Chain A
Amino acid sequence: MTKIVGTHPPYLSPDYRSSVLRAPSQPPVVFAADPDAIELTGPVFGHDELGALDADLTRHHAGEPIGERIVVTGRVLDAAGRPVPGTLLEIWQANAAGRYAHEGDRHPAPLDPNFTGAGRCLTDEEGRYRFVSIKPGAYPWRNHHNAWRPAHIHFSVFGTAFTQRLVTQMYFPGDPLFPYDPIFQSIPDPAARERLVSRFDLETTVPEWALGYRFDIVLGRTPTEES
């Protein structure tokens, strides 16, 4: 398989200041794993480990959260285009005002007592997932003067092997902050960047209730991939 150059950000992306002292200075050791390498397998999660409402972030408290209600759905595939069923997705995000329910978030925007912003679900047989949430707000950070993150939802995906493990961020179409965001811009290939931008989808949109966005996720390095 040819490696797709420029898909993942380089560890060292100086415009993203936190990377400067944390990026490994040595390139990763490329290791052709033997068939017994444990990284070619990964944890299996059961439906009984998840709560019934885990995928609906608008129903984790007594009242309704403030903001624009959204449905985010898509499929998880491997690099050969095969659906990845039964895999765990975890998401977390800021509320509609751009504030995380995290003690370290000092942005002086209101917390929402009805929104925590963390959810999880398993993909179905076709690799599909579906979350209900609130559209997150943009938020300032101290990377540089007047730095604002485009609105995003953090995604964590397992896949079938430890080598497929992915943590990423989903963005919303047409965000004016894209050109100014060193995290989004750290991805070298502009086409790869676009793969993190969800697509508004009228079919997913629920009449009189919520806007729909589609976001498909493709995991690299499947254990059974033939070259």
Chain B
Amino acid sequence: MTVLLPAEGAPPTAVAVTPSQTVGPFFGYALPYGGGPDLVPEGHPGAITITGRVLDGAGEPVPDALLELWLGSTGTRGALGRGGPGVSGFGRCPTTQDGVYRFRTARPPGPYLALLVFARGLLRSVATRVYLQDGPDPLLDALDPARRATLIAEPDGEGYRFDVRLQGEKETVFLEF
């Protein structure tokens, strides 16, 4: 074993990070949890839905992806233990056989929500943002106009539509911080 970590209690020193591996195809019985896609309960005032599909480079739906949505603060509803009123800042939703996901959430305090996508075939998750409207923004303004559009959700009834294209034409902008 070549890993050298500081001993417990020793002063912190920089250590090499742990590599990522794919979530694989079989997380479905382990990671999704009851109410995971619902950051707010049904009927919550001002609730919106964010729905869309995850698509691969051939335009085919990805049926074994897992999406995680982050509003920016933990909230009161609990991140795992759903039930009860209030807002949770975190949600998790697996895709269906048709590659479809659907979150119910409150509006974020700022212009966007953070989204992570995991899937079989992705050796590392991809990070992106769901902007609920276009406007001046440090990230959006740094992108070329065609790619910028991939981060703007489309109004769709009571909510928004946001497809994640992992590869190819109209590929979603993914971020590294």
Residues of A in contact with B (beta carbons under 8 Å apart)? 1, 4, 7-11, 13, 16, 18-26, 28-34, 36-46, 48-50, 75, 77, 79-82, 88, 90-92, 94, 100-105, 116-118, 126, 154, 156, 162-163, 165-169, 173, 183-184, 186-187, 191-197, 199, 216-221
Q: Count the A-B residue pairs with Cβ separation under 8 angstroms: how many?
A: 251
CB-contact partner of A100 in B8, B29, B120, under 8 A: B29
Report B137-160 residues with CB < 8 Å from chain A CB: 138-139, 142-143, 147
Complex A-B: 26 CB contacts under 8 Å: A4-B16, A23-B57, A23-B122, A24-B166, A24-B171, A24-B172, A28-B176, A34-B138, A36-B110, A38-B114, A41-B72, A49-B78, A81-B11, A100-B29, A102-B28, A105-B26, A154-B23, A167-B21, A167-B118, A169-B22, A195-B2, A195-B18, A199-B3, A218-B16, A220-B17, A221-B177
Q: Is the CB of B12 within 8 A of A82?
A: yes
Residues of B in contact with A (beta carbons under 8 Å apart)? 1-3, 5-6, 8, 11-31, 56-58, 60, 62, 64, 68, 70-74, 78-81, 88-90, 108, 110, 112-114, 116, 118-127, 138-139, 142-143, 147, 166-168, 171-177
A128 to chain B, nearest CB (A): 8
Output the nearest chain A residue to B91 by Cβ-Cβ distance.
A43
Additional A-B contact list (18), CB under 8 Å, known A43-B74, A102-B25, A220-B17: A4-B16, A16-B121, A20-B57, A22-B119, A25-B57, A38-B70, A39-B70, A45-B80, A46-B78, A49-B80, A75-B8, A100-B26, A102-B26, A154-B23, A162-B127, A186-B123, A199-B1, A221-B177
